[in-house]
Structure 1
Amino acid sequence: MINILTQLIRNKITRLFLLTIAILFLGAVGLHYFEKTPHIVDAFWWSFVTITTVGYGDIAPSTVGGRIVGVIVMVFGIGLLGMFTATIASAFVETRLKEGKGVMDVKVNDHFIICGWSYKAKEIIAELRADKKIKNKPIVIVADIPEKPLDDENTFFINGEVDADIMTKANLRGASVVMILTDESLDSYSRDAKVVLNTLTIRKLNQDVYICVEISDARNMQHGKLAGADEIIVIGELSGNLLAQAALDHGITKIITELVSNRYGNELYKVKPPESFMDMKFIDILKILKEDYNAIILAIDSGKNNKLVANPPMDYTIKTGDELVLIAQERPQLGK
């Protein structure tokens, strides 16, 4: 809305508005003077319906002076009102075009930023939208492509490569998560080098944002970590592991596919345990979650030790800072 107002001011909308009001006022005063209308309000009513070309005909000038006033109002008033409405319409259209071209700053906060565009980016957005918790969360795409690639009112687009100016336009300081995708137009080495460089840039600009990246070669994971990535997905390694599991245990990848998709079946969630779970044993919480929430604990993310414990021992006790990794049909609201 601020951008539209700026555009309107630049297009002299204020001047057009004042001129239109002036014609409306002069028409009303002129009709009242020549036609001796009982109330000035009626004169203003006539002037308004004449300018807007409605023309109900309930009031019509009969004197020469009144008709001259009517001609002036019709000629100048209608023209000015048309210019006024056309200027407003053009400002909205121009703003929409600029948004589509990715040249306007975004004004959202607590949003996700996706750096790069490919078929994977579209799938990522679809998965994010399938999660009820962040269904309407703003998403900003930063990519060197001609125009906005997705028609979604809560998805915004910034055209360009990752640098300080572009990330300022994407409001990096207000973002909660940044996802950096590999550039599939480059070779494997160059892809990872670009991801690491983008990670360094983003981490320097925002020390607190959570950064998830994908790389092509597992040997570059260390570079990604040193650059400041919080989570790294190795493309080839992940698909290789899934293929190996498919060969060893036929059909097991179907359940893995279900768990990592938000669009159907059960999903994986990481949630904070309520205070009532503190110091309780894992086996007791496992029973409560299954009975009350139809959920199963897979692992404990120990914030204190920065360690993920899969299939914890039965006597493991929940401590402050721990988070539960669950399988459930939808994100459970624990303790509610």
Structure 2
Amino acid sequence: MRRRLKQLYLFLLRENLLYLLAVVFALVLCSSILISLLEADISFADGIWWSNVTMTTVGYGDIAPHSQGGRIVAAVIMFCGIGLLGTLSASFAALLISRKMKENKGMLPSSATGHVIICSWNERAKAILKELRADAQTADSPVVLVAEIEEKPVDDPNLFFIRGAADEEALRKANLPEAKTVIVLGDDQADPAARDAKTVLTVLTIESINRDVYTVVELMSKANEQHCRWANANEIIVSSELSSHLLASAALNHGISGIVADLLSRQRGHELHSMSAPAELAGKTYLEVLVAMKTSRNATVIGVMQRGGGFVSNPAADYRVAENDLLAVISDERIRT
């Protein structure tokens, strides 16, 4: 509490509002004392009420001065009070407008916690943000964008913008130590080699600040994948390789790209996602889990992600699902256990 009061005091002092508030307080106090001395039927408590009502031009009329001196006090507080309150209101309005402008320009640090950080802004980042907002888990969650652009690119109340390159200063302003996930996108303005080098450097910076954050990285060349692994990235997506696989699959299996797009998007159709294996299914065979999930939750299990291991797609019928395994499922909505 003392810390908050100190912060409030320093804020008022820094914004030159403390002096203005002191003048308003002094005017109310002095006018209350004078009106209670000049008017026999007005107490000091009533004088405070009258001063506030008169200064704000509300004018209830329940208390009114009758003596000449009291009317002079009333005239002074009317003229001075209107000016002071107008100045105070204008100062607060200017402060709010200035803060909003600074937020849109990415000049203020973020206090978000458990949030997602997106490094760089491009069409892929725009699509990522739409997908995050389409998912119930992240529809209203804070997302912090760190990018070298002029101002906040979209009107999203839960998107916070930090202007600058994804270096240590900008990432700390994005409150990286309290973040849950970081998505590192390549810089479209750089050539492919420099782009991946910059991405790896960003990952190293992220890991040096918060080793517990989950890092998803986009690379252009598979040759740089190992560098990202050495930097402790959690998931690496080589965009050129992924596109090549999808193009080849589409050539061999017509229409497959539409199916993949439908499964990966949360904005239409069913979605592909991971979930913890339900406790009652631990130790069961894949076939038993497949039937149980389809029967009880209308979800299709297509594979098992082993904790600390790899992904087993379409396991054998007698494969045993361990307690800590993750299930890759297709369902109409995200399943929570």
TM-score (norm 2): 0.93
Q: Structure 1 residue 137: deviation in Å?
A: 1.6
Match of 1:269 in 2: 273
Residue 235 (structure 2) pairs with residue 231 (structure 1): yes
Residue 332 (structure 2) pairs with residue 329 (structure 1): yes
List per-residue Cα deviations over 1:213-238 (Å, max 9, x = no partner).
Answer: 11112222222222222111111222
Q: 1:206 to 1:43 in 2, by over 3 A?
A: closer
Residue 76 (structure 2) pairs with residue 62 (structure 1): no
Q: Structure 1 residue 120: deviation in Å?
A: 1.0
Among 232, 237, 241, the alignment partner of 2:245 is: 241
Match of 1:316 in 2: 319
Q: Structure 1 residue 7: deviation in Å?
A: 4.1
Among 218, 221, 226, the alignment partner of 1:217 is: 221
Q: Which amino acid aligns with 1:325?
A: A
Residue 207 (structure 2) pairs with residue 203 (structure 1): yes
Unaligned runs of 5+ in 2: 1-5
**Matched residues in 2 for 1:42 and 1:209: separation?**
59
Tell me the secondary structure at the aligned position of residue 72 of structure 1: helix
**Matched residues in 2 for 1:270 and 1:6: separation?**
48
Among 56, 72, 75, the alignment partner of 1:52 is: 56
List per-residue Cα deviations over 1:284-336 (Å, max 9, x = no partner).
Answer: 111111111000001100114x11000011001111321101000111134xx
Match of 1:166 in 2: 170
Unaligned runs of 5+ in 1: none
Q: Structure 1 residue 169: deviation in Å?
A: 0.8
Say if 2:104 and 2:151, in contact at 8 Å, map to a contact too: yes
Q: Structure 1 residue 90: deviation in Å?
A: 2.1
> For 1:264-303, what aligned pairs fall within 5 Å after superposition?
264-303=268-307
- Work out the number of aligned pairs and report it: 333
Match of 1:93 in 2: 97
Q: Structure 1 residue 39: deviation in Å?
A: 4.3
Q: Which amino acid aligns with 1:308?
A: F
Tell me the secondary structure at the aligned position of residue 132 of structure 1: coil
Q: Which amino acid aligns with 1:322?
A: D
List per-residue Cα deviations over 1:119-158 (Å, max 9, x = no partner).
Answer: 1111101101111112222111011111111221111111
Tell me the secondary structure at the aligned position of residue 190 of structure 2: coil
Q: Which amino acid aligns with 1:315?
A: D
Match of 1:251 in 2: 255
Match of 1:138 in 2: 142
Q: 1:257 to 1:277 in 2, by over 3 A?
A: same
Report the identity percentage: 40
Q: Structure 1 residue 40: deviation in Å?
A: 4.0
Q: Which amino acid aligns with 1:321?
A: N
Q: Structure 1 residue 266: deviation in Å?
A: 0.6
**Matched residues in 2 for 1:9 and 1:284: separation?**
67
Q: 1:263 to 1:3 in 2, by over 3 A?
A: farther
**Matched residues in 1 for 2:334 and 2:122: separation?**
28
Say if 2:304 and 2:311, in contact at 8 Å, map to a contact too: yes
Residue 179 (structure 2) pairs with residue 183 (structure 1): no
Mean Cα deviation higher: 274-283 or 76-85: 76-85
Q: Which amino acid aligns with 2:323?
A: T
Q: Which amino acid aligns with 1:313?
A: A
